[in-house]
Amino acid sequence: MPAESIRVGGLVPLTSIDYPGELAAVVFTQGCPWRCVYCHNPSLLPARGDSEMPWSQVLQFLDSRRGLLDAVVFSGGEPTSQPALPQAIEQVRGMGFKIGLHSAGIYPRKLQKLLPLIDWIGLDVKAKKADYSLITRTRDSGEAAWRSAELVLASGVAHQFRITAHPSWLDDSDAQWIRDRLLAMGAESVVIQQGRLHD
Ligand code: SF4
Ligand 1: residue of 36, 74, 102, 148 to mutate (most ligand atoms within 8 A of CB) is: 36
Who contacts 127 (Cβ-Cβ below 8 Å, separation ≥6)? 134, 135, 142, 169, 170, 174, 178
Any atom of ligand 1 within 6 Å of the Cβ of 18: no
CA distances 106 to 56, 61, 156, Å, are: 27, 29, 19
pLDDT of 84 reads: 98
Quick: pLDDT tens for 49-65: 998 999 999 999 999 99
Which has more pLDDT, 131 or 199? 131
- Cβ–ligand 1 distance for 192 under 6 Å, the answer no
Confidence of residue 82 (pLDDT cuts 50, 70, 90): very high
pLDDT of residue 96: 97
Q: Which residue's alpha carbon is at the smallest distance from atom 3 of ligand 1? A: 77
What tens digit of pLDDT does each residue of 2-49 get?
A: 999 999 999 999 999 999 999 999 999 999 999 999 998 899 999 999
Among positive and negative, which fits the CA dihedral 131, 136, 143, 189? negative
Distance linking the first and last C-alpha atoms of the chain: 38
* pLDDT (0 to 100) of residue 197: 66
pLDDT of res. 199: 53
CA 45 to mean position of chain CA atoms? 13
Please report, for the chain, the start and end positions of each structural domain, with discontinuous segments joined by +.
3-194
Q: Is residue 198 scored above 70 in pLDDT?
A: no
Amino acid at 125: V
Query: What gap in Å lies between CA 3 and CA 106, rounded to an integer?
Result: 21
Q: Say how many Å lie between the CA of residue 66 and the centre of ligand 1.
A: 30
Of the residues 81, 135, 136, 198, which should be mutated to test ligand 1's pocket, given the most ligand atoms within 8 Å of the CB? 136
Assigned CATH for 3-194: 3.20.20.70
| pLDDT digit string, tens, across residues 128-151 | 999 999 999 999 999 999 999 999
pLDDT recorded at residue 156: 97
What is the percent of the chain where pLDDT is above 70?
A: 98
Protein residue with its CA nearest to atom 6 in ligand 1? 36
Q: What mean pLDDT value characterizes the chain? A: 96
Using the mean position of ligand 1's atoms as its centre, give its distance from the Cα of residue 77 in Å: 6
Section 171-193 average pLDDT: 97
For 90-109, what is the mean pLDDT?
Answer: 98
pLDDT, average across residues 77-104: 98
Ligand 1 contact via 66 beta carbon (within 6 Å): no
